Amino acid sequence: MKFERILSVFIIIMYLLAPVNAFEIFGHEIGWDDAGVASGAAAVALVAATVATGGLDLVAIGGAIAIGGLCDLIYRKVTGKYDTPTAVNTGAKTPTKDELINDTDVKNKLANLQAYSESEAAKDLFQLRQQLSSSLTTYDFKTEGALADIRITIKGPEKIYGFSPFPLQVHIHAPSSKEPPQNCVHITSVKAYVVDDSGRKWYEDVWTGDLVLRPKSWWYPDALGEDWDFNFTLKAPDKYVGKAKNIVQGTADYKTAEELLNANISKFEVVVEVQGYREVWRWESEYTTWRDLKERGYRIDGTHVYTAQGTPVGEFHETDPETGEGLFYTPEFVKNVELNVKASSLSAYNHLQNGKYFIGGTEGSLPARFGDVREFTAYGMYANGATSLIVARCWATPVHLFDSTADYKFVVIANRDNMKPINVSIIDDYKMVVFREFADGTWVIADQIPGSFGNMGDYISTVASTLTYKHDNNTVGYSTYFVVYAVLKPHNDCGNVNEIPIWIIVKPKISVLDNTEVVLGDKQTEEIASIIDDGKITESEAQSLKNIAESAISALKQKKYSAEHLVERYSSNPKAQEYAKKAVECYDKAIGYLEDMMASNDASTVARDYKVSKNYEMAGDYYYDAAQKEFYGQHDQAEADVNNAEKIIDDTKQYEPSMFFSLGSTLGEWWSQFKSGLGIDWIPDWAIILIVVILVVGGAIIVLKIL
């Protein structure tokens, strides 16, 4: 059994050493003459082994296959077919003409391009608004004060996103004695406010008046009852609103924009204070008759006693039906009792969601070779601020390069449903701004566009413009922001709040790339595509391919050298250095595939090698750019570049040889080195394999026969 395993391993190795010829026996290139020779040899070997061993076993089958493959090699050598170029089945996909010339695979992998339309933008925003929607829920709270007279329940949003205003519903229940019905509770003041973890009050909203709560009765048929809801408009603690206003209505500042984008909310709870008083009454009674009451001018309806004008005055409860005598009750005021209740939430902060969030989409920029692409794509973006109330999305063209322009569309919609049951309007101003950042950490405004949507309703508002990425030698990157400063005006709020300032900031995950020269550009690509278009490569065309490859390799080596320089220069920044090393690796692979391309005269192989080399060059450019951005602190943009590099590398795998083919090629190199080491590299492979197979199979038959 051990010998069988050894032989089987040898046979597998032999096939890997000759991937073209061995596997072609079963591939599409096989012809009747090839099949006849190979199959005949295999059959003879199989019969011989069967006779020797007394039955089919692993060694017999393995030996038969080995001899079949060997005879195929010998047959090709004798007939000259051994030297005939044939297609190599590497398990890799051959790129289409569009993928080879236009790199549509890369474009589709990195950007979801589509024709921008209002309906498409609205659909996108409505989905986001739905994700940010919230409804009222009861908060946990503690109370103190006249709890037997006034009971409070606090309701607020299930989710509060960021520095957003939110509705607070205060439910008051004031139980009253029904005897006499004059007993009631007057609510004179309800105050609601936010308290942060330092004890500071924010956004106080106050109702004042005289609200009488008592049960409905015959005496007071229009009474409000014992329950009432107050709706207030509050907001999470916000120390940044003045800075947001200054960016939009004053001078934009890069550090302030970053501060807003990364702002965190202080912990807070809501507090409700209720003031009022209870009227205390008691019954006065006199013994009289219903006849006497009528003589006084009263009207009696059952037990209810009214004046002639219909005003309730008391109740008559007859005790002696024969005489009509009974007790006449009239209410008498005793006093007013002051009432104060305070309720503090215990869980409001638990309903607070992080204001800053990320929405997925296209990241970074397409490579410079796609500079003519002007379709829009929805970009991944960060947002912070009053994100419960204002939902925004950034659309832009996918190519962002130094000294070039890019088209933007910022689409915004109000999320007023999150303020229900309070009706609100939102009046805004906005500013779109691009900061240019320099190597020394300073910045200037590269471009800015102010404007206003006016009254933001339940429809989308769009601002479209073109931003310019001006550039000089010290420029290391750009950051684009869209900032909205607005006021929220409640219309049916119970309190005295007229407006609350709000803001939102959006930063699309865009990385502006250097106008790096692409080595494997359109001219070279079109020339190669023209050469391999008919599926054949002549000697002169092969020389042209070699010239293109040699020129490209020389240019790629310059890129590799520049990346190696970054590896040394960025030794103090491990992450930047890592990206630079990956750039070197990608350029190395691009060079390696061009070298492979020069050694092939198969059109499909040339197409694959060239396409893979193109992709690795683009990935290397992304890593190179990421290294620079990471070194200068532009972490998000570096991350976007790295993500794009990884996507390209992942896409490239479909064009690269399979693991098994690569293993076979590697073993082939080892075999050549082995022959050279023994000094027998002058002996043809087929002759060595023939000798080995005869010795192994013959020896196996003898050993098995003896056993």
Chain mean pLDDT for the chain:
81
Residue 321 near residue 246 (C-beta atoms within 8 A): no
For residue 31, pLDDT beyond 60: no
In the chain, pLDDT over 70 holds for what percent of residues? 80
At 678-706, the pLDDT tens digits run 666 557 666 777 777 777 777 767 766 66
At 180-199, the pLDDT tens digits run 888 899 999 999 999 998 89
Q: Residues near 512 by Cβ (< 8 Å), separated by ≥ 6?
A: 365, 400, 401, 402, 469, 477, 478, 637
At 424-447, the pLDDT tens digits run 989 889 999 999 999 888 999 988
Q: Residue 223 has what pLDDT? A: 85
Q: Residue 40 has what pLDDT? A: 46
Give the C-alpha separation, 557 to 554, whole Å: 5
Averaged pLDDT for residues 609-626: 93
Averaged pLDDT for residues 111-127: 63
CB atoms within 10 A of CB 357: 16
CA 308 to chain centre: 76
For residue 13, pLDDT beyond 50: no
Q: Residue 669 has what pLDDT? A: 54
**Nearest alpha-carbon partner for 550 in 484, 600, 594:** 594
Give the C-alpha separation, 120 to 632, whole Å: 37
Report strand pairing: 160-161 vs 352-353. parallel
Q: Residue 460 has what pLDDT? A: 79
Residue 664 near residue 16 (C-beta atoms within 8 A): yes
Q: Residues near 516 by Cβ (< 8 Å), separated by ≥ 6?
A: 368, 621, 624, 625
For residue 360, pLDDT beyond 60: yes
Sign of CA dihedral 131, 136, 140, 141: positive
Give the C-alpha separation, 116 to 376, whole Å: 6
Give the C-alpha separation, 200 to 219, whole Å: 46
DSSP letter string, 249-316: HS---HHHHHHHHT--PPPEEEEEEEEEEEEEEEEEEEEEEHHHHHHTT-EEETTEEE-TTS-EEEEE
User: Could you give the residue range(s) of every CATH 1.20.120.870 domain in the chain?
Assistant: 517-656
Q: Residue 82 has what pLDDT? A: 41
Q: What tokens does 409 get?
A: 């569309």
How far the first Cα of the chain sits from its last, in Å, is: 12
pLDDT band at 29 (very low <50, low <70, confident <90, very high): very low
Averaged pLDDT for residues 205-227: 89
Averaged pLDDT for residues 635-664: 81
Q: What tokens does 342 get?
A: 């305070």
Q: What are phi and psi of 122, to 5 degrees?
A: -65, -45
At 35-57, the pLDDT tens digits run 444 444 444 444 444 444 444 45
Q: Residue 338 has what pLDDT? A: 94
For residue 92, pLDDT beyond 80: no
Q: Residue 44 has what pLDDT? A: 44
Q: What are phi and psi of 683, to 5 degrees?
A: -85, 130
Opening angle at CA 267, ends 262 and 271, nearest 5: 140
Averaged pLDDT for residues 508-521: 82
For residue 663, pLDDT beyond 60: no
At 560-572, the pLDDT tens digits run 999 999 999 999 9
Answer yes or no: pTM beyond 0.75. Answer: no
Q: Residue 176 has what pLDDT? A: 83
Q: Residue 703 has what pLDDT? A: 65
What's the order of all strands across the beta sheet hosting 475-490? Answer: 357-359, 381-385, 500-508, 475-490, 424-438, 443-456
For residue 138, pLDDT beyond 70: yes
Class of domain 517-656: mainly alpha
Give the C-alpha separation, 35 to 131, whole Å: 64
Give the C-alpha separation, 686 to 72, whole Å: 10
Averaged pLDDT for residues 354-375: 84
In the chain, pLDDT over 90 holds for what percent of residues? 36
The 10 Å CB-count burial string (b at 16+, else e) for 387-415 is bbbbbbbbbbbbbbbbebebbbbbbbbbb
Give the C-alpha separation, 542 to 532, whole Å: 10
Q: Mapped to the 3 state alphabet, what secondary structure does 212-261 carry?
A: EEECCCCCCCCCCECEEEEEEEEECCCCCHHHHHHHHHCCCCHHHHHHHH
Averaged pLDDT for residues 274-292: 91
Q: Residue 646 has what pLDDT? A: 94
For residue 80, pLDDT beyond 70: no
Q: Residue 679 has what pLDDT? A: 63
Q: Residue 491 has what pLDDT? A: 86
Greatest CA span in the chain, whole angstroms? 145
Q: Residues near 435 by Cβ (< 8 Å), separated by ≥ 6?
A: 252, 254, 257, 443, 444, 445, 446, 478, 479, 481
Averaged pLDDT for residues 469-477: 84
Q: What tokens does 400 get?
A: 């962002």
User: Mean pLDDT highest for which of 18-22, 267-271, 536-540?
Assistant: 267-271
**Nearest alpha-carbon partner for 371 in 322, 406, 408:** 406
For residue 69, pLDDT beyond 60: no
Report the range of poorest mean pLDDT among 16-20, 244-248, 251-255. Answer: 16-20
Q: Residue 557 has what pLDDT? A: 93
Q: Residue 68 has what pLDDT? A: 52
Look at 551 and 77; give whichever has higher pLDDT. Answer: 551
Amino acid at 688: I
